[in-house]
């Protein structure tokens, strides 16, 4: 479904992603784990088209999306839930949801879909007319996820959805990701929380300073000595 | 005296408010002051004049509509073109570059009108009979009523557009975060172009109102009103739509009062005084949110 080949991305002269190749099959849930500054956000931002690709290709269902502007990529069904939620702070919760469905022409359909989202995330119904900037971090994350779903994504990419959340909230977010995956949406999960990500993911990649150093099933990586030491904090 | 000044101030303020919206809207989405906006105002006045001259029919509602449609569409289209050729290529350049580009465009547009239409000021034909009402020693003209209500109606329409339509909401989203807006499938370039079109159109309408009010127009007519409208936008908190509307009215009233109670020579000074005082005391504007750097 998604095929990344020899992708390189640089900020000026600083290379952030170096010759990365990876793929996702339809219906899969795949994780990318890596330390701060490994290039995780850069990688999915390059897929989304919001940072320019230096070389390599990104193909989504046979379309060469690295040649498209970001807004067109989103309309292909490649949707990102950005790091740090990035809700529109001065718009209401409902307006944020509407923006998620920007490409949808049918207003009645958008309305119905927003109500479905409010059923899935009841807090969004309670806060419908509240400005998104005044929501708590956990509520904003719910909103960011719901806003992403409003686009009816085929591939949903999460950038550190558990960042800065309480343990209960983290649990809830991973539960939601599992649900979304079970509904048939392909998921790419970028996380620092390696343990939880590897538990949920069918396959995973380890990204280190812009390169993929390991690729295996989630279960195998959980048992991998290097991963244990570097990402799970288990001495071996 | 007081009521008379207030009426005159509201009339002038209507023009400033409409004009200020273009500055504030563009700043909202691009964090850039479009210094060529004063020339968009001027071009609006010329488009309106052109339509007034070619229209064969006598004074009528549809004729007035045609005049404003021509001015707003013409100004909006030029503003969009300016964005495309002078600002978009510099979107990621240092912030000074588009500013200099704006000044260049401004000089170009003034000279264009001066060379093609003329350097003389041109009378704005009074096709529509203006009646004056007098009561309690106060004079109020139908033109003043027209200016005020047209400005208010346009501002209400703008508000409706921003709050109720998808494009309007996308404009707000773009003002808050370009990158995330793109992730929503919003073509940010289209929205920016639309912002210039709408802001330019409102500036054009203000230009026609200015022509009708003062009775004549000139290629450099945008300069002082431009500074005043810019001041109005700063007064209301640049980037803040409602602030620009309120700022326009406040500045119009202040100006008329300064001219009336101090001396008419203070008329143009007052805008600068307000601008400096606001920048020193409350740089975020009267309705100030915190001045924040956007990413
Ligand atoms: N806009 C930018 N300009 C210059 N360098 C950048 C920019 N964004 C990221 N970088 C650099 O690129 C590298 C990868 O950053 P990236 O944000 O992709 O890391 P990350 O894996 O997402 O980290 P984190 O876990 O902290 O979010 C870092 O060295 C970072 O400093
Ligand atoms: Mg990151």
pLDDT for A131 beyond 50? yes
Q: Could you tell me if residue B258 is inside a domain?
A: no
Number of domains in chain B: 1
Q: pLDDT per residue over B145-204, tens digit each?
A: 999 999 999 999 999 999 999 999 999 999 999 999 999 999 999 999 999 999 999 999
Cβ burial of A202 (10 Å; 0-12, 13-18, 19+) is middle
Amino acid B131: pLDDT: 87
Give the residue whose CA is nearest to atom 18 of ligand 1.
Answer: A39
Report if residue B53 sits inside a domain: yes
Does residue B220 carry a pLDDT above 90? yes
- Chain A residue with CA closest to B179: the answer is A50
Mean pLDDT, chain A, rounded, equals 92
The 8 Å CB, 24+ separation contacts for B272-275 are B272/B227, B272/B231, B274/B231, B274/B235, B275/B227, B275/B230, B275/B231, B275/B234, B275/B235
What pLDDT is attached to residue A98? 95
Domain that residue B189 falls in = 9-123+137-222
Q: Is residue B184 part of a domain?
A: yes
State how beta strands B122-123 and B216-217 pair.
antiparallel
In a domain, B118, yes or no: yes
- Is the ipTM here above 0.85? yes
Give the pLDDT confidence score for residue B82 in this predicted structure. Answer: 96
Position with higher pLDDT, B242 vs A229: B242
Mean pLDDT, range A56-63, rounded to an integer: 94
- Residue B291 has a pLDDT of 46
Q: Give the model confidence (pLDDT) of A6-36 as tens digits.
A: 999 999 889 999 999 999 999 999 999 998 8
In a domain, B292, yes or no: no
pLDDT beyond 90 at A129: yes
Instruction: Indicate if the pLDDT at residue B57 is higher than 70.
Output: no
Q: Whose CA is nearest to atom 30 of ligand 1?
A: A37
- HSE at residue A103, side-chain half, CA atoms within 13 A, is 24
Mutate to test the pocket of ligand 1, among A9, A39, A205 (most ligand atoms within 8 A of CB): A39
pLDDT tier, B58 (very low <50, low <70, confident <90, very high otherwise): low
Substitution site in A37, A50, A52 for ligand 1 pocket (most atoms within 8 Å of beta carbon): A37
Q: Of B273 and B201, which is predicted with more confidence?
A: B201
Q: With CA atoms as reference, report the closest residue to A82 among A100, A64, A56, A58.
A: A100
> For position A8, what pLDDT does the model report?
94
Confidence of residue B292 (pLDDT cuts 50, 70, 90): very low
Q: Do B185 and A90 touch (CB under 8 A)?
A: no
Let me know if residue B270 belongs to a domain: no
Torsion over CA: B50, B51, B57, B58 (sign): negative
Report whether pLDDT(A231) > 80. no
**Which one is predicted more confidently, A13 or B57?**
A13
Q: What is the pLDDT of residues A142-164, one digit of tens each?
A: 999 999 999 999 999 999 999 88
Interface size A-B, in CB pairs within 8 Å, comes to 64
Q: Give me the mean pLDDT over the A130-148 stretch.
A: 94
Residue A87 and residue A133 in contact, taking contact as beta carbons nearer than 8 Å: yes
Which of A48, A71, A86 has the CB atom closest to B187's CB atom? A71
Q: Let me know if residue B130 belongs to a domain.
A: no
Fold exhibited by the domain A1-77+155-165+186-236 = Rossmann fold (3.40.50)
* pLDDT > 70: percent of chain A: 99
**Paired tokens of A12:** 């000026």
B159's tokens: 């508000």
Domain boundaries along the sequence of chain A:
1-77+155-165+186-236, 83-152
A76-90, A222-236, B100-114, range with the lowest pLDDT: A222-236
- Asked if residue B294 has pLDDT above 60, the reply is no
- Give distance in angstroms: CA of A37 to centre of ligand 2: 7
Cβ atoms of A46 and A20 within 8 Å: the answer is no
Let me know if residue B295 belongs to a domain.
Answer: no
Mutate to test the interface with A, among B165, B175, B185 (most CBs of A within 10 A): B185
List residues near ligand 1 (CB under 6 A).
A 11, 14, 16, 34, 36-42, 83, 192
pLDDT tens digits, B188-216:
999 999 999 999 999 999 999 999 999 99
CB contact (8 A) between residue A102 and residue B179: no
pTM of the model: 0.91
What is the pLDDT of chain B when averaged over all its residues? 91
Ligand index nearest the alpha carbon of residue A51: 1
- B171 to chain A, minimum CA–CA distance in Å? 11
Predicted local distance difference test score (pLDDT) of residue B287: 79
């Amino acid at each position: 479904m998604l095929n990344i080949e020899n992708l390189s991305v640089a900020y000026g002269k600083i290379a952030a992603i170096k010759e990365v190749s990876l793929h996702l099959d339809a219906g899969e849930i795949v994780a990318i784990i890596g330390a701060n500054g490994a290039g995780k956000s850069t990688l999915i931002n390059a897929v989304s088209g919001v940072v320019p690709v230096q070389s390599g290709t990104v193909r989504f269902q046979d379309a060469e999306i690295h040649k498209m502007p970001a807004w067109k990529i989103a309309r292909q069904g490649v949707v990102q839930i950005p790091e740090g939620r990035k809700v529109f702070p001065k718009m209401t919760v409902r307006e944020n949801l509407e923006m998620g469905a920007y490409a949808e022409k049918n207003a009645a359909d958008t309305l119905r879909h927003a109500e479905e989202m409010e059923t899935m995330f009841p807090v969004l119904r309670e806060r419908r007319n509240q400005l998104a900037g005044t929501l708590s971090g956990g509520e904003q994350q719910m909103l960011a996820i719901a806003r992403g779903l409003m686009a009816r994504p085929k591939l949903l990419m999460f950038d550190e959805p558990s960042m800065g959340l309480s343990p209960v909230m983290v649990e809830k977010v991973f539960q939601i990701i599992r649900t979304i995956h079970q509904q048939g949406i392909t998921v790419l999960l970028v996380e620092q929380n390696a343990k939880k990500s590897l538990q949920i993911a069918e396959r995973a990649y380890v990204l280190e300073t812009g390169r993929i150093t390991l690729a295996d099933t989630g279960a195998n990586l959980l048992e991998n000595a290097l991963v244990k030491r570097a990402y799970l904090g288990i001495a071996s | 005296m007081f009521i008379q000044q207030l009426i005159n101030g509201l009339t002038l303020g209507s023009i400033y408010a409409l004009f200020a919206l273009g500055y504030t809207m563009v700043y909202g989405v691009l964090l850039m002051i479009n210094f060529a906006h004063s020339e968009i105002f001027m071009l609006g006045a010329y488009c309106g004049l052109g339509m007034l001259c070619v229209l064969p029919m006598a004074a009528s509602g549809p004729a007035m509509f045609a005049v404003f449609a021509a001015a707003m569409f013409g100004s909006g289209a030029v503003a969009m073109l300016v964005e495309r050729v002078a600002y978009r290529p510099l979107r990621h350049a240092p912030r000074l570059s588009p500013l200099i580009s704006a000044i260049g465009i401004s000089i170009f547009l003034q000279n264009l009108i001066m060379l093609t239409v003329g350097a003389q000021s041109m009378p704005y034909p009074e096709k529509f009979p203006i009646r004056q009402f007098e009561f309690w020693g106060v004079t109020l003209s139908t033109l003043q009523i027209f200016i005020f209500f047209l400005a208010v109606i346009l501002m209400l329409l703008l508000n409706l557009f921003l709050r109720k339509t998808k494009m309007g909401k996308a404009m707000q989203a773009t003002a808050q975060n370009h990158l995330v807006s793109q992730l929503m499938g919003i073509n940010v370039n289209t929205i920016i172009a639309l912002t210039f079109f709408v802001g330019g159109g409102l500036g054009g309408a203000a230009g026609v109102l200015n022509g009708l009010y003062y009775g004549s127009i000139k290629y450099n007519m945008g300069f002082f009103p431009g500074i005043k409208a810019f001041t109005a936008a700063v007064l209301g908190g640049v980037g803040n739509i409602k602030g620009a509307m309120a700022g326009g009215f406040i500045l119009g009233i202040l100006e008329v009062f300064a001219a009336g109670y101090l001396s008419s020579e203070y008329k143009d000074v007052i805008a600068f005084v307000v601008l400096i005082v606001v920048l020193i005391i409350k740089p975020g504007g009267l309705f100030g949110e915190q001045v924040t750097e956007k990413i």
